[in-house]
Every structure is written in structure tokens, then in C-alpha cells.
Homo-oligomer: A and B are copies of this chain.
């Protein structure tokens, strides 16, 4: 039985352990943190945790989708809150299509359980990876409690140790010709927990992702199982009228919420007291290449960490597992070939997820409340209702399909250009009013156009 070392027991590491156990490998996971199942997981960060189709597929492949479904809350669309508290609803896709709110801690704990239950997986906690001999498959760990140092030799090393991967930093980055970039965006984020009502009910509509778009900053809220919402404020760190730097005094925080998120403030008048419950965090994109060297490969955030604005950070990491699994079948466990095929096919998709995430950040921040943007979405939705075979909106390609991200990204740009050209020729809003819209769509999509 081949020995496999996985560095990191996070979402991708623990899922990949399930895959490798299933394939008959002897799996050891080494995780820097202590066992989250034995500690308070409420403080965990929850952004990025909107499960969509790619994530589900990765669960289905190893038969654990039903387990996860029990702790996932469907969100069928976005609900925008304006300054007056008016709501606008925008479905994500077709009627039965949803993305699913899950708690990072909850889903992670569940997957660690499943991995361990497979019998061939052991998880070692508090183990910091201090060095890796990439080509030889030797990893070195230091136990953060005992100080004990361990040398682990294995046939394969999967580094799923996150955006600040120790494997990448300690070993990959020292390789000649390793390209690497860590790029922070101007914005940071802070979480706020909006508690349930006393009777346990939700204070906002449950099955939707709430957004308060405000131009240069925004607040979002995702439902939790217990009736609460995990809310996240995205905002520039500094150099802006509203910035985290300017939001420190309790009074300023209160004024800020009162003025810019009045309906939220009504639901949570003690927001200033809860402000310090979660830290201010930064957001970065990390690009690198190659992802594989010798017996070692990077997966998930360690290879292609992104900003959370398309909800695809976790999903793309899970898709890494699906893809690696397919390549494993295809190349009959010839790992040199698998690793090479993995990085060559997957790198453009990692880049595309990052581009999509950044683009969508601007959309969520600047356009989600914009009438022209909403009209375009409505128009695209109608096209895809009439010609589902011919038109799939970009969001659906990314969230509800398995089209490679890079392909979706290119296709999305073409579509956007085409739709905008139609919208510049017709008064689309009026055509929706007088029910002439379908005719226009038939004109464009009825016969020849395949766009």
C-alpha cells in the first residue's frame, strides 16, 4: 500500500484524504492547527462558503454528498438592500438552481470524520511543516505543542495547506524558475454575526444571499443553520471616505451602520459591540507555477488562492480533487504524468477563477444596484429561458456547470459584448414592458446565432 502525505486538514486536504483512502492509499494528514472538532469553531472565517455544482460533484464522486447536504442551506438568488431598505431580488439561475451556504467549520469537521472513518487516514494535529524535499517526497514537521520534529517519507505529497502554504513557501519558492505572486487588494473584510430571533427564527429571508451594495464597499449575509447569519463587510483598509482605518471608535461604527445600512442596523443595534468579535482580515490573490515538482503537488488555495467574490475558492479546490481523480483513472496511477497533466490543464482554470473573482468583486460592489446591470441580467435570464441550449449566463457556467473556468471566462466576455451590442440597439426596458422582448430574442437566437 502506497504512503501518501497530505499537508493541511482543511477543506481540500480532508476531501482529498477521502479520495485517496477510497483508492486504497495509506493516508497521513499533517495539520498545523489543533483539531477544530475539539474547539470552538464559531470564530472560524466563513467567507467563500457558498457550495455550488463543482463542489457537489466532488462530493458525489466519493459518495458523501448526502452527508453534506444535511448541513447546507440553499440560496436561490441575491437579495439587494438599498439605502431605504427596499429589496430587489435576482435569481442565480433557473428555478431549482441554488448555491448552498455552509459553515466552513461544520463542513471541515464532517469531512475529517469521514476521512478518518475510512480507516486508512490518520490526522496529526499541531504539526507545522518546516521543509520538504519535493523530489524525494520527504516532509519535515515540528509539533507546536511538544516541539518534537518528525521526518516523513512517502510516495506522494499533496500540499493542501492553504493560501499561505508552508510547502510552497519553504520549498517550492526556493526552486529555480518558480514564478510566484502574492497580490493584496485594497479591501479587507470583517465578519459580524447577526443572531437569530429569540425563537430561533431568521431575521432576514433565509434562502437567499443578502447584499447591501454601496459603491466602494458592501455588506453581505449568508444564512447559518441556527437561524443566525454570517455577515461580512468588505471595505478598503484606508484611503477612502469609508475605510476600516476610519472605523474604530464605537460611535463611528454606530453612525456608519445607521447611515449606510439602516435596515441592517435596525436588526442589529448592538453591531458596534459585536465589532471586535472577529478580526479585520486582508484579501489576496496568489498565483504561482509550477504546481508540481517530483513527488509533490500543490492543490486548492496553495496553488491558486483567490478573493472570495465569486464564491469559487472552495469549489475550485474541490474541483481540483475531481480533476486529479479523473487523471488518476486516465493515467493508471502514473503519478509523474498525472501531476504534469494536472498542472498543465488546471493552471489556466486557476487563473480564470482569480480573474472571475476580481471581476465579480467590481460587479457586486459597483453594479449590483445599477438599473442597467439589473436589466442586462434580466435580459440574459430571459434568453436562457427561451434558449437554454444556446445561452448560459456566465454566472451559471461558473456556478451550475462543469465547463472549465478558463472557457467560461472567455465565453462570458464574448457574451457580454454581444448582449451589450443588442442592448445598445433596442430599448430593452420598453420591450419588456410591451412584451416585445421575446421577438427580439427569437430574432437573434431562433436560427443561426450560437452564442
Contacts and interface: CB of A to CB of B under 8 A. Distances in A.
A178 interface: yes
Contact of A176 (B177, B179, B183, B282): B282
Interface string A162-200: 000000010001001111111110000000000000000
A210 interface: no
Interface in A266-293: 282, 284
A182 B182 contact: no
Interface string A320-345: 00000000000000000000000000
Interface residues of A, number: 14
Contact of A282 (B177, B183, B284): B177
Contacts of A173: 169, 182
Contact of A177 (B169, B178, B180, B237): B237
A179 B182 contact: yes
Q: Chain A at the B interface: mostly helix, strand, loop or mixed?
A: strand
A161 to B, nearest CB: 15
Contacts of A169: 173
B179 A183 contact: yes
Nearest to A181: B181
Nearest to A164: B174
A69 to B, nearest CB: 36
A304 to B, nearest CB: 15
Contacts of A178: 182, 184
Nearest to A286: B180
B184 A182 contact: no
Interface in A123-181: 169, 173, 176-181
Interface string A250-266: 00000000000000000
Nearest to A288: B182
B179 A180 contact: no
Contacts of A183: 179, 181
Contacts of A184: 177-179
Of A177, A178, A179, A237, chain B has the most CB atoms within 10 Å of the CB of A177
A257 B108 CA distance: 59
Nearest to A184: B177
A334 to B, nearest CB: 22
Contacts of A182: 173, 178-181
A364 B176 CA distance: 25
A237 to B, nearest CB: 7
Contacts of A284: 177
Contacts of A177: 184, 237, 282, 284
A177 B186 CA distance: 9
A41 to B, nearest CB: 23
A163 to B, nearest CB: 12
A178 B286 CA distance: 12
A53 B183 CA distance: 34
A201 B119 CA distance: 76
A292 to B, nearest CB: 17
A344 to B, nearest CB: 13
A240 to B, nearest CB: 15
A179 to B, nearest CB: 5
Contacts of A176: 282
6 contacts: A169-B173, A177-B282, A177-B284, A179-B184, A180-B181, A181-B182
Given A177-B284, A178-B184, A181-B183, 15 more contacts: A169-B173, A173-B182, A176-B282, A177-B184, A177-B237, A177-B282, A178-B182, A179-B182, A179-B183, A179-B184, A180-B180, A180-B181, A180-B182, A181-B181, A181-B182
Closest 5 pairs (CB-CB, A-B): A181-B181, A177-B184, A180-B182, A177-B282, A176-B282
